[in-house]
Chain A
Amino acid sequence: MNRTRALALLASAAALPQCSTSSALRVGSKNFTESIVVAEIYAQALETAGLRVERRFNLGSTQIALAAMARGDIDLYPEYTGTALVDVLHLAPPRDPHAMYETLRAEFAKRYGLTWLTPSPMNDSQGLATTQALATRLRLRTLSQLAAAAGSLRLATIPEFLSRPDGLPGLQRRYGGFRFASVHTYDIALKYDALLHDQADVATAFTTDGAIASDRLVVLDDDKHLWPPYNVAPVVRTSVAARDPRIAMTLDAVSPAITSVQAQHMNAAIEAARRDPSDVATAFLRSLSR
């Protein structure tokens, strides 16, 4: 979708009469930078469209965010297609990404009363990262190579990774090997620190993480295609979306503009350059109208 069409949709969304209820829309996010900045983008776009928004960011892991949706503590949050399929619905990813998305829409609507809006092109895939130095020394470029070498390496990861079907168990099934010498779990914000301070050799990565943009880390290639796409999209309670069409209109206009490059750029701006997520989101939205 090109910029002009996006703008047109945004404008028309703002022009719609106020047919929502007077209570605020509660936007949540998971507990990592990218989730927060994408949620902030959603929130600001909706506010521009005239809605009242309440932010409930940094809630926790996928399970906690979904529980909050189920309880009605939040109305909308950014979720990833791959995560939703494998980790929530416990289905195997189909070859065709489009079919995958349709499956998600149908199942989430049926099982949870939740609606998936238009996804973004950005792909925040899972991955394994190591230092440039180690990759060079052990001649590691792909996950197949890492699978064999894992026996002498230390892994730093988050608790979710150890139990998700598309986490370590999935890697072991698809590639074989991947029996690390030691495995330590950390808070999601700290996992790269272990790598950078030589307390681990390999760390769970997310491909749009700000830290990866640096030269020191390298993400290994998923040569056997274990991981499906992880596109971010707004997930909203169906009843809430039905009450106010501006929600879908606004976010469908914005989502297509969030690319992998944009995502990585924003993550780095927040974590490395210490910028405020709110400022970064505003700058992103402003760039859409140029």
Chain B
Amino acid sequence: MTYLTSHAARVFALAQDHALIVAAALLVALAAAFPLALVIVRRPRTAPLLLGLLGAIYTIPSLALLALLVRAFGLGIAPIFVALVAYAQFMLVRNIAAGISGIDPAQIDAAHGLGMAARQQFVRVELPLALPVIVGGIRVAAVAMIAIATLGGYVGGEGLGTLIFTGLTLHHDDMIVAGSLAASLLAIVADGALRLVEHAVRR
């Protein structure tokens, strides 16, 4: 506990970095996941192949994937960023596709029949109705990414992982505890905040 209290400012700054990295990776992951999800929604037959591929990536142990990415991107933030985006795909694509496919078909039929153009239908009906499930997927992905991002400390990245791995090297257990505790707290906060959002969009 001592490191947490004596270096509160540093831990907080690292937590902020950690949160920023995860948030940025999440945004990029969403940008990639949406089109993939739409492919599955429009052509359900691609679902087993696409989700199978993304699921396979998801099962690669994080350390192994990171090691491979270091070969390609070197040390620093780049490999962990790519790893985060890759891991998040499975959860995000699956939830976005499920959210959109799970919409009441009667409302789609009504929207279509009343004269909404495709884009209006998507923005005014499909997206708002799919939002609760999508936000649920974002929540799950964010929590997982906060944990995985601690591995960044192993490859010279930033964030709370540096506390954990430096603590390991220096035999400073309280640094390890500080890093782990802060990461857990961050995950709890993220989960809570996104649950509120999920609740708010569930109408």
Contacts and interface: CB of A to CB of B under 8 A. Distances in A.
Complex contact flag A–B (Cβ < 8 Å): yes
Interface of A: 31-33, 36, 56-60, 64, 67-68, 71, 73, 187-189, 270-271, 274, 277
Contacts of A277: 170
B138 to A, nearest CB: 32
Contacts of A57: 166
B75 A56 contact: yes
Given A58-B162, A58-B165, A58-B166, A274 B74 contact: no
B171 A271 contact: yes
Contact of A59 (B75, B171, B172, B174): B75
A43 to B, nearest CB: 14
A58 B171 contact: no
A36 B74 contact: no
Nearest to A59: B156
A73 B79 CA distance: 13
A189 B165 CA distance: 10
Interface string B26-40: 000000000000000
B17 to A, nearest CB: 14
Interface string B161-203: 0100110111110100000000000000000000000000000
Interface of B: 74-76, 153, 156, 162, 165-166, 168-172, 174
A265 B127 CA distance: 63
Given A64-B75, A188-B169, A189-B171, 16 more contacts: A33-B171, A36-B166, A36-B169, A56-B75, A58-B153, A58-B156, A58-B166, A59-B75, A60-B75, A68-B75, A73-B156, A189-B168, A189-B170, A270-B171, A271-B171, A277-B170
18 contacts: A31-B169, A32-B169, A33-B171, A56-B156, A58-B153, A58-B156, A68-B74, A68-B75, A68-B156, A73-B75, A187-B168, A188-B169, A189-B169, A189-B171, A270-B171, A271-B170, A271-B172, A277-B170
B167 to A, nearest CB: 9
Contacts of A59: 75, 156
Contact of A71 (B74, B153, B174): B74
A58 B169 contact: yes
A71 B174 CA distance: 33
Contacts of A58: 153, 156, 162, 165-166, 169
A38 B166 CA distance: 15
A274 B174 CA distance: 9
Residue in A31, A58, A187 whose Cβ sees the most chain B Cβ within 10 Å: A58
Contacts of B168: 187, 189
